[in-house]
Amino acid sequence: MNLLLSTVFRRALAGLLILVSCPLAAAADGAVPFSQAAYDAVAKDRAVVLVAANWNRRWGCGAYENAQLRGLGFDRAGAQKEDPAKPDLLIEDGWLPARKGFTTFALIVEPGEYLLSSYKVKVAKSVSEVGHVGGDRTTLLADGKSKAGSFSARAGEIVYIGHFSLDCAQVPIPWRYYPEDKAAFSKYLGQVAREYPGLPSEQAKFRLFDTTVMGNPYRLPE
C-alpha cells in the first residue's frame, strides 16, 4: 500500500471536519451486498464496487489516545438528498465480522458517479473522554461535487476503488491506499474471489477513488 501522505491535503480536509453524533445505518437502499444470485440477475445493468476498510483501533492517532474509522458514505451524483436521508452506498464497522487488517466489501450498485458525502471516526482522549469527528453533506458537498472525492462505475463493470484506513499525522481522517503493482493487485483479487464465490473478480478494473485530500493520485503500472 502506498504510504505517502501530503500535509497540504490533510490540512485541507481538516477544515471540513465537524462533530457528528448521529449513528450510521448498517446498509443503504441503493447498494446491495454481493451474492451470486443477486449479481446474476442484474450483471449487465448494475456495477459492482470493491472497497476495503480497516476498522481497527489506531493508538496515538494525532492528538488522541486512539481513533477508529467507523463509516464511509457515498451519494450518487444527481440524486438530491437531504439529511437524514441515507447515502446510496454506505459501509460501516459492524456490517461484516470484525477482523485484523482490511475487510473487503463487494457491493452491487446503480451505475454512475458516487460522491463521498459522509465519514465517521471515533476518537478518544481517554477511557472516559470519547467522541466522534467526521463530515456530512453540509461540509463535504458543494455545487454537485464532493470536496473529498468521488469514483465512477459503469453498467456491467466491477471496479476496485481502494483500501481505506486512518491517517493519524494530524486530525484523524480516512486515507485511501492501494496495491502498488499488478502482482499485488492480482493477489488481492484472488482473496476477493475466495471471499465472494461467483464474482468474476479477474474482470475488476483498478479505478481508485479520485481525491486530492484523502489520498495521492496513482495509476497501476502497465
Over residues 34-40, the mean pLDDT reads 96
Q: Regarding predicted confidence, which is higher, 197 or 83?
A: 197
C-alpha 134/C-alpha 40 separation (Å) is 36
Per-residue pLDDT tens digits for 156-200 = 999 999 999 999 988 899 999 999 999 999 999 999 999 999 999
Please tell me whether residue 12 adopts helix, strand or coil conformation: helix
Indicate the pLDDT class of residue 4, thresholds 50, 70 and 90. Answer: very low
What is the reported pLDDT for 96?
A: 57
Asked if pLDDT for residue 13 goes beyond 70, the answer is no
Exposure string over 162-191, b if 16+ CB within 10 A, otherwise e: bbbbbbbeebbbbbbbbbeeeeebeebbee
Reported in sequence order, the residue ranges of the chain that DSSP labels E, i.e. its strands, are 18-19, 32-33, 47-54, 58-61, 64-76, 89-92, 102-109, 112-124, 130-135, 141-142, 145-146, 150-153, 158-167, 173-177, 205-206
pLDDT averaged over every residue in the chain: 85
Please say if the pLDDT value at position 77 is more than 50.
Answer: yes
Predicted local distance difference test score (pLDDT) of residue 142? 93
CB 94 within 8 A of CB 74: no
Q: Would the CA dihedral through 29, 31, 34, 37 be positive or negative?
A: positive
First to last CA, the chain: 17
Q: Is the pLDDT of residue 22 over 80?
A: no
pLDDT at 7: 37
> What's the pLDDT score for residue 65?
94
CA distance 152 to 128: 41
- pTM for the structure as a whole: 0.84
Range with the poorest average pLDDT among 79-93, 126-140, 168-182, 206-220: 79-93
Residue 52 pLDDT exceeds 50: yes
Task: Please report, rounded to a whole number, the percentage of residues in the chain having pLDDT higher than 90.
Answer: 72
Q: What is the pLDDT of residue 83?
A: 65
